[in-house]
Amino acid sequence: MSDTNRQWILANRPEGRPTDEDFELVESEVPDPDANEVLVRTRYLSVDPYMRGRMRDEESYAEPWEVGEPMRAGVVGEVEASNHDDFETGDIVTGNLEWAEYSLALGSELAPVDPDLAPISTALGVLGMPGRTAYFGTLEVAEPRPGDTMVVSGAAGAVGSVVGQIARMSGARVVGIAGSDRKCDWLTDELGFDAAVNYKEEDVREALSGACPDGIDAYFDNVGGEITDAVFANLNIDARVAVCGQISLYNAEELPTGPRKLGTLIEKRARVEGLLVGDFAPRFEAATERLGQWVSEGELQYEETITEGFENAPGAFIGLFEGENVGKQLVEVA
């Protein structure tokens, strides 16, 4: 084990899209665990769009990071030292830890990862927070039914790609929206989506009219903005909208004023519901078990974009807003 620990701290609050200057790499000694603490060596670090909100000094559902302090993320790592009865050296664990090569955590803040179930990286993706978000958001918020048409924006991401597959298992016809022909081909050729729209090359409203000739019964929203405006124009009566993310707006210094869409909800008697996966925490274990079964049976496919090297974590995060990743974006640290 190294004597030196590297950490990424928030150097500045970004204005607009984050840049490399908003992050600072610092070194310190590897800490020793106190009573009930565990020292974890990071193997994989997750970067996620919601983290952009934590870089603002604003009240939100996630507490903002302080300038000069380490940022935090989902981590899968190996126990290096333990003063907690539930964990011993060599165990693989996951938790919300610092952007660091080594992190301390209370044992109660960690969960074991079974390396025999699937590659350990999946604990941050299809079998972790993104997979559980897709699971509950699809089945209990968007509620696709046999014969429905469901649209998923951000469909080639960690959440959206799982959403579409679960909707297909539920008997719905699924249309994905993504940002390249390569991603659209992956959705239809590999994941079984019925159609896909490249929002960078097509008029989304017109393309959705062609891809959804009978309208849209359910919509899983990961992006917001003009894409969601286009979806709303095609909603059916009694449509359900699950609002999971708004990545198109995360870097905006001032939120744009767009078409007023609440009138559409009156006309269509549609339901719009926000989604935070933490609300389903008491049922995480059951969701992970079912997702794991689907993966092992080949019913649920997943993709990971892995950036190698702890020093490249900020670039991997910034790349989320360029649409560089397919599936779950991870940083391989060790």
- The CB density around residue 29, as the number of other CB atoms within 10 Å, is 10
Higher-scoring residue by pLDDT: 257, 8: 8
For range 146-174, the mean pLDDT: 98
Q: Per residue in 280-292, pLDDT tens?
A: 999 999 999 999 9
Residue 199, token pair as written in the block? 């929002």
State yes or no: pLDDT of 180 exceeds 70. yes
pLDDT tens column, 101-130:
999 999 999 999 999 989 999 999 999 999
Summarize the confidence of residues 71-86 as an average pLDDT. Answer: 96
Residue 61 has pLDDT above 90, yes or no: no
331 forms beta bridges with: 45, 307
Is a pLDDT exceeding 90 seen at residue 157? yes
Q: Indicate if the pLDDT at residue 259 is higher than 60.
A: no
pLDDT of 150 over the 60 cut: yes
**Confidence (pTM):** 0.90
Top mean-pLDDT range of 41-55, 207-221, 315-329: 207-221
What is the average pLDDT score of the chain?
93
Give me the percent of the chain exceeding a pLDDT of 90.
83
d(CA 202, CA 188): 17
The whole-number pLDDT of residue 167 equals 98
**Residue 328 pLDDT greater than 70, yes or no:** yes
**Residue 2: pLDDT over 80:** no
Share of the chain above pLDDT 70, in %: 97
Give me the pLDDT at residue 257, please.
67
Per-residue pLDDT band for 258 (boundaries 50, 70, 90) equals low
Q: Is residue 260 predicted with pLDDT exceeding 70?
A: no
pLDDT tops 80 at residue 251? no
Q: Label residue 264 by pLDDT band (50, 70, 90).
A: confident
Output the CA–CA distances (angstroms, integers) from residue 334 to 31, 45, 95, 102, 183, in the order listed: 18, 10, 16, 10, 29
- For residue 157, CA distances in Å to 22, 24, 68, 151, 257 come to 24, 27, 30, 14, 26
